[in-house]
Structure 1
């Protein structure tokens, strides 16, 4: 018998192994046994009824025989085993009803067996919901018949339709065996799965008991660390935004020479602090794989120049000569990559070169290589005449919190995270650092970046507006809850003759936009009552299409790739991280102004 069932399992294996649930696999096996064995059973009955001349029974059994063969074909060639099982249960109901109305006109043993078999099979095949439905379909007719039957409740004989004793005995014996088999098989499968799950559970329990303490501690430490860094990112950048922002504003207000020197020192120190904070926060993000590269178009030549000239003042204070060489092929080229991470690479390497060079030269050379098919390999070289690095220390300086010598931090400062961050970012670009250095002879660091590129279009509108600093025609709504940040943004915008409207939270910003017209919204992300995300979603649902499509630039001190994705998903147009560079804000505002000019020209 086991051999027969194994053969049946092989025939239906393509259906069985498509199911991941072991209970569903057992259901398919059980259905396949019924569909294969029933034609044999009904085939024997057809011969018996032909011999005995029991025409009425012969008609029903031929119907069941052909129906079972059809269902067998459907189940084999399709995956509709659930539909086939419903049809089987429907046929079982027809047998019960035909017994009550035609063949027996009462309730005999065969009818009771069919009710029992149908109820059991419906629960096994489809669970409790369908089990109850089919059970009611099978049982209610029998109960109703019994309630209205006055002469006899049960007919265990073979009247009123004549049927031979042998065929009747064969039918009820087969039904009993099928019922017993289904109970046995489903119990066996249930028991096997239960034992397997119990065994697996015990193994996992033992393993979990061994790892539970260590994993719990690691998870707590990880969560606490990431939560702390997330909080610190926002809490540190917010006051730094105020200091740097006010320094920029005061420098733009024509200070006296002595004031300008003090403000420049204040700005330099604060930006240096911001760089250190960013390095600590960013390295932990890299360490936990929380960083992804962006892909946005930008002018690489302009980015390099901005980075170079932003730290040139630092070099001039040490009387160092700064040299910049950029391949002319990059002048009118737009590359698609991550400008923030490229800036981070250049900033860390250039600052390192200046920090460790007391006299001489620091140079940045950018060359193009292998330009073809919309891709460009760019070669960067940062070289200095500084203290150099001993050969046995050159590899270790790329490890976190390690510097070239034990007294490096005391003499030159730094966290020891700049070069490890550079290596991690370059790894994301599928690149690596090449280092050449000798003690007291300087250091040369080079790397390659393969970037997608395209020629920049010539924009007459941009040329016409180049050098324009008066953006007073723009109506700007600022959503910001921090008082210092409000003051910084307000004074920054006023330098370009913009008089902003200030809203203390997202809800007020939405209300103001409903009442007035604006050209742009600067939206802080984290505010009480209604944050920037929710305010943006509300604005985008405005009935007025002009207000619904207003440009929105997100401002946030807690900025990373996830925040950037969330900002864009919230249908904001752009974003700036705090502390922001006024030049970066001006460029974005100027872009909005250009769009307005293009509309009217």
Structure 2
């Protein structure tokens, strides 16, 4: 940048300051410097032309001097540097035309300088469109002038206007200097910005590489965390399967009143621990966006009754009245959705309501909000007469690891994951949870879910669980290596008068299937010799199509994100996690006689 005087520099900076774009700032500064430099240039020429008595030259140079002053004022007061640059380009074009027609009546160095100046300035100031326009109107007259024979085509005066050699040399040199400065200044600004952009690009590249490295490390940590939690879950769920399974079996054997109470406490404690483990794992799954809803047919009214029954004992232990109200429209409908995730929402909310209610009642209510030929919208409401939540804390309880207060955590326990999971699951259902609560007057949570539905028929509605002999004809092969799990499965099946065949590893399971006939295989996934996936693939490739198409239900304590996908890919028919609810296993075994067999191979 050429520094004439510091005040001029400050003045130019002030003119360009409103522009935020560095390129536009450079344009505004460049135009301002050109106009300022033209002031002494035209002033000197004015004196020279007065002394030389050259009237026409004096008129033109005086006009340029005044125009430069006016344009500087235009930029200063209105910031309209674009308009000022257009006027400047028009004046340059006028200078070219006037040289051809009046002052020189020929093409000389000065005229070529004006043309070069106009072309460069138009491109630098306004870009391609205006650059081509101003270049055309400056160059075309020269081309036309050169292409015609008559030298009088542009002749308007009495002849060429002579100028002395010193003046001519001054004008020519000054114009060359301006042209050089124009290129110098703009490309200096352009180069500086280009260097800055390059440096910024390199910095962003380095930052992206660091971010990618960090993301990769975070992904590894996340995967390691999930693997650890999955392993710990498997190790916790395996003994819990034994505790809950044996508790269920003993409760069905008509125990004494004191024994029933002890078993109920044992089962309740184990199920609470299982709920805690499931919540921690599910929260990590939701955090990784690795959870998808199922879309299966189920009886919503039956699901509500089952949830009610499963928590009734817990409410009775606190002497609470557990209420249930089911919308009449649900009695004859089978809805399509994810019963497991819906149960998770209801159980979390009901458990919370029971936990934080010392006296009174807890209610689960449903009502129909909208009903069409194919869709039904149900409002679920969970209401209690518990401790309630202060208004300013109501949004915080949906945040992970957060409870209404530290005293709540100390008094009632819990991890603060139940409600955040509820919120995440409902988001997957395209719903959101609302609450109304006051301190010491209870709380009401409600949400709406829209389900596609079918009208129930006799093939979908199942008989009660107490049909002990309904499954007695089934021949079941159990592939399981854990002695506790074997005991649980045997006692569970024996209550339905089923005597299973046990295979202690995958290889034995394959051998027993080849030696005998079975209707169902309950397949553990992780066994010695051959795991459940390998055994299933071997079964599906058997030449005996009846045995190759046997119904296989996976039973596992593993909760890896890809278990369900691997189960389906390997050729298994269904999936049930341990510890399992006997009712769920009962329903899956009933389907064996209802569903058509799936044929693998040809």
Shorter-normalised TM-score: what interval?
A: 0.5 to 0.7
Deviation at residue 285 of structure 1 after TM alignment: 0.8
Deviation at residue 246 of structure 1 after TM alignment: 1.0
Q: Secondary structure at the match of 1:407?
A: helix
C-alpha distance after superposition, 1:53-78 (max 9, x if no partner): xxxxxxxxxxxxxxxxxxxxxxxxxx
Instruction: Please name the residue that 2:574 is paired with.
Output: 574
Q: Secondary structure at the match of 2:406?
A: coil
Instruction: Please name the residue that 2:243 is paired with.
Output: 243
**Bigger CA radius of gyration:** 2
Structure 2 distance, partners of 1:318, 1:484, is: 32
C-alpha distance after superposition, 1:482-503 (max 9, x if no partner): 1111111112112222111111
Q: Is the 8 A contact 1:403 1:416 kept in 2?
A: yes
The answer on 1:320 being equivalent to 2:320 is yes
Q: How many residues align?
A: 399
Deviation at residue 472 of structure 1 after TM alignment: 2.8
C-alpha distance after superposition, 1:226-245 (max 9, x if no partner): 11112122111111101111
Q: Structure 1 residues 326 and 461, CA, compared in 2 at 3 Å: closer, same or farther?
A: closer
Structure 2 distance, partners of 1:329, 1:247, is: 36
Q: Secondary structure at the match of 1:554?
A: strand
TM-score when scaled to structure 1? 0.63
Instruction: Please name the residue that 2:336 is paired with.
Output: 336
Q: Is the 8 A contact 2:473 2:498 kept in 1?
A: yes
C-alpha distance after superposition, 1:260-307 (max 9, x if no partner): 111111000000111111111111111111111111111111011101
Bigger mean CA offset, 217-226 vs 325-334 = 217-226
Q: Structure 1 residues 542 and 201, CA, compared in 2 at 3 Å: closer, same or farther?
A: farther
1:247-286 to 2 correspondence within 5 Å? 247-286=247-286
Q: Is the 8 A contact 1:471 1:593 kept in 2?
A: no
Deviation at residue 373 of structure 1 after TM alignment: 3.8
C-alpha distance after superposition, 1:543-586 (max 9, x if no partner): 22211111111101113663223222222121111000112112
C-alpha distance after superposition, 1:348-384 (max 9, x if no partner): 0001111111001111111122211411111101111
Q: Structure 1 residues 365 and 502, CA, compared in 2 at 3 Å: closer, same or farther?
A: same
Instruction: Please name the residue that 1:445 is paired with.
Output: 445
Q: Is the 8 A contact 2:465 2:586 kept in 1?
A: no
Q: Is the 8 A contact 1:556 1:578 kept in 2?
A: yes
Instruction: Please name the residue that 2:394 is paired with.
Output: 394
Structure 1 distance, partners of 2:227, 2:459, is: 45
Q: Is the 8 A contact 2:465 2:583 kept in 1?
A: no
1:282-297 to 2 correspondence within 5 Å? 282-297=282-297
Q: Secondary structure at the match of 2:376?
A: strand
The answer on 1:412 being equivalent to 2:394 is no
Structure 2 distance, partners of 1:464, 1:481, is: 31
1:429-508 to 2 correspondence within 5 Å? 429-459=429-459, 467-469=467-469, 471-508=471-508
Structure 2 distance, partners of 1:214, 1:488, is: 46
C-alpha distance after superposition, 1:173-197 (max 9, x if no partner): xxxxxxxxxxxxxxxxxxxxxxxxx
What is the aligned-residue RMSD (CA, Å)?
A: 2.5
C-alpha distance after superposition, 1:130-168 (max 9, x if no partner): xxxxxxxxxxxxxxxxxxxxxxxxxxxxxxxxxxxxxxx
Structure 1 distance, partners of 2:306, 2:577, is: 17
Instruction: Please name the residue that 1:104 is paired with.
Output: none
The answer on 1:548 being equivalent to 2:548 is yes
C-alpha distance after superposition, 1:532-553 (max 9, x if no partner): 1121111112222211111111
Q: Is the 8 A contact 2:242 2:484 kept in 1?
A: yes
Structure 2 distance, partners of 1:487, 1:256, is: 22
Q: Structure 1 residues 265 and 469, CA, compared in 2 at 3 Å: closer, same or farther?
A: farther
Deviation at residue 218 of structure 1 after TM alignment: 2.1
Q: Secondary structure at the match of 1:522?
A: strand
Q: Is the 8 A contact 2:230 2:560 kept in 1?
A: no
Structure 1 distance, partners of 2:363, 2:557, is: 32
Deviation at residue 529 of structure 1 after TM alignment: 1.9
Deviation at residue 468 of structure 1 after TM alignment: 4.1
Q: Is the 8 A contact 1:292 1:561 kept in 2?
A: no
Instruction: Please name the residue that 2:229 is paired with.
Output: 229
Q: Is the 8 A contact 1:291 1:560 kept in 2?
A: no
Q: Secondary structure at the match of 2:562?
A: helix
Deviation at residue 510 of structure 1 after TM alignment: 1.2
Structure 1 distance, partners of 2:203, 2:443, is: 56
TM-score when scaled to structure 2? 0.63
C-alpha distance after superposition, 1:185-238 (max 9, x if no partner): xxxxxxxxxxxxxx9998897346544663454233212211111212211111
Structure 1 distance, partners of 2:575, 2:206, is: 50
Structure 1 distance, partners of 2:260, 2:285, is: 37
The answer on 1:510 being equivalent to 2:510 is yes
Q: Structure 1 residues 506 and 292, CA, compared in 2 at 3 Å: closer, same or farther?
A: same
